[in-house]
Amino acid sequence: DQQVKQNSPSLSVQEGRISILNCDYTNSMFDYFLWYKKYPAEGPTFLISISSIKDKNEDGRFTVFLNKSAKHLSLHIVPSQPGDSAVYFCAASKGNSGGYQKVTFGTGTKLQVIP
Amino acid sequence: SQTIHQWPATLVQPVGSPLSLECTVEGTSNPNLYWYRQAAGRGLQLLFYSVGIGQISSEVPQNLSASRPQDRQFILSSKKLLLSDSGFYLCAWSAGSQKLFFGSGTQLSVL
C-alpha cells in the first residue's frame, strides 16, 4: 500500500523555467510533509518541509504547497537550474509518537534541468 | 556539527553469504536511528528503527536484522543474503523530529 505517491517518475524542464513536482497521499493522519533531494550514489538531503497547519512554505527558489482537502502537495522550483537535476522524494509523517517519527517516502521523481 | 558515516559505499556479495553494514553518527547524543532500503524503481522503504541502545523495531518481515550496540552505532546484518536483498541501503538519524539526515548509502549487489 503506497501511502505517498509520486506519479511522475521523471520530468524535464528548461533552465530558468519553473519545475513543478507533484505528490499525493492517502493517509489523512499525515500532518507533516517533507521534500528530499537525492543525487546518484548519495543519500537524500532535506530540502523543505511544511506542516499541515500551513498551505505554503517558501525557502528561496523552493516553495511547497499543501492542499489538505485534495491530499496533494507540490514542490515548485523557480527558476530551475542545472544543479537542480536530481531525484526528488516526497515524504510524509504522522508526527511524534513516543519519540519515534515514522516517515513514509514516495517513489521519487527524477528532474532533469536542460541548460 | 553532526555527521553520519556509512560504509562500505558499494558491496558485491554472493547469494548465501553474510552481510554487515555499519553506520555511526557523530556530534549528537541519543539519536533515533533508521535503516532504509531503496530497491530499483521503488521508493525508500523503512526497514528498522531504533530509539535507544538495544531497542530495535522492524517495519517489515525480512531476511535482515539490525543491532544498536552503542548509542551512535547502528548495524544492519544478514546471515544469508538473498537475491532480493539487492538495493541501495541508507542509514539515517533524527533528533526527535521528522527531519531525517541520511548517510551516503551502500549499493549492495547480491549475485
The pLDDT tens digits of the residues spanning A99-112 come to: 567 889 999 999 99
Examine the pLDDT at A98 and tell me if it is beyond 70.
no
- A60-78 mean pLDDT: 97
**pLDDT > 80? residue B72:** yes
Residues A39-48: what's their mean pLDDT? 92
Of B32, B41, B98, the CB nearest to A99: B32
Question: Is residue A53's pLDDT more than 60?
Answer: yes
Smallest CA–CA separation between A48 and chain B, in Å? 10
- The contact set of B with A (CB < 8 A) is 6, 9, 32, 36, 41-46, 49, 51, 57, 59, 90, 92, 94, 96-105, 107
Asked whether the predicted pLDDT for residue B96 surpasses 90, the reply is no
Test the B interface: residue of A97, A102, A110 with most B CBs within 10 Å: A102
Q: Would you state the pLDDT for residue B53?
A: 94
Task: Name the residue facing A101 among B41, B44, B97 (closest C-beta).
Answer: B97
CA A81/CA A77 separation, integer angstroms = 9
Rounded Cα distance, A80 and A82, in Å:
7
Q: A58 pLDDT exceeds 90? A: yes
Residue A33's pLDDT is 95
A90 in Cβ contact with A26 (< 8 Å) = no
pLDDT for B24-51, tens place per residue? Answer: 999 998 999 999 998 777 788 899 999 9
Give A63's contacts (C-beta < 8 A, 6+ positions apart).
A48, A56, A57, A75, A76, A78
Quote the pLDDT of residue A40: 87
Once rounded to an integer, what is the mean pLDDT over residues B8-32?
95
Q: What pLDDT does residue A100 have?
A: 66
Average pLDDT over residues A44-65: 96
Q: Using beta carbons and an 8 Å cutoff, which residues of A are at the interface with B?
A: 2, 4, 6, 32, 34, 36, 41-46, 49, 89, 91, 93, 95-96, 98-108
Percent of chain B having pLDDT more than 70? 98
Query: Shortest Cα distance from B18 to chain A (angstroms)?
Result: 23
Q: How far apart are CA B43 and CA B45, in angstroms?
A: 6
